Amino acid sequence: MLSEENILEGQILLVDKPLTWSSFQAVNKLKYLLKNAFGLKKFKIGHAGTLDPLATGLLIVCTGKSTKKISEIQAQPKEYTGTFFIGATTPSYDLETEVDQIFPIDHISEELIRETTAKFLGEIDQKPPVFSAIKKDGVRLYEHARAGVDVEIASRKTTIYEFEITRIELPEIDFRVACSKGTYIRSLAFDFGKALKSGAHLTALRRTKIGDYSVTLAKTPEVFENELRQV
């Protein structure tokens, strides 16, 4: 049970972030609810790993002394499920922007999909999406992108521990992936489409695990609000 004492001492809260909410919004909502429920004026609170507004799922929120564990939690492997749309790309590699190119998919078989999936296992080179919060010359990449400025993005090493295709109904493919910190699933979608000699973008994403923390134990902000009303 949440209390003023354990919020200040340090609590790890598992939030199931709703679609379209930013991670910042989710943390602010919890901060507001906890302040009101316990009459707190000031306390530390932060999240361990950003989740895009177009993604749902596990967001770990730390309070009090537990905020010291944020870096440690962020460094742990992540698991995601989601959907790739095959045969079209977008500049953002997801649904944030409109389709910019169409590609053939008639040559794509289940065998080709599974062979291609195997090629992504292990350590890979990956370029972050141009629509991301990484900074280049002191400016976030998405700000460059929205201003129409072309920037050279360096690739980085990332590791795919598991990559499983769970549904094939072209043009859609569902997947589950376990990966290291810093992996962009949007970039994985783009690279996967390219490897199929087609194109792809991400249309759904859900973070299901961070280390040993699972979304099955997470609560939506609405559930937190209802529970805190009863405190």
Residues labelled as active-site residues: 52
Structure tokens at 86: 């095959």
Structure tokens at 98: 């409109």
Rounded-to-integer distance, Cα 51 and Cα 55, Å: 6
Q: What are the φ and ψ backbone dihedral angles of 131, each rounded to 5 degrees?
A: -90, 75
Beta bridge partners of 68: none
Helix, strand or coil for residue 118? helix
Decide the pairing of beta strands 88-89 and 101-102. Answer: antiparallel
Rounded to whole angstroms, what are the CA distances from 115 to 58, 96, 163?
A: 30, 29, 11
Return the beta strands (E) in the chain as ranges: 10-17, 45-47, 56-64, 78-86, 88-89, 101-102, 122-126, 135-136, 139-140, 156-169, 172-179, 200-210, 213-214
* Tally of CB atoms within 10 A around 147: 8
Residue 192's H or E segment, with its range, is helix 185-195
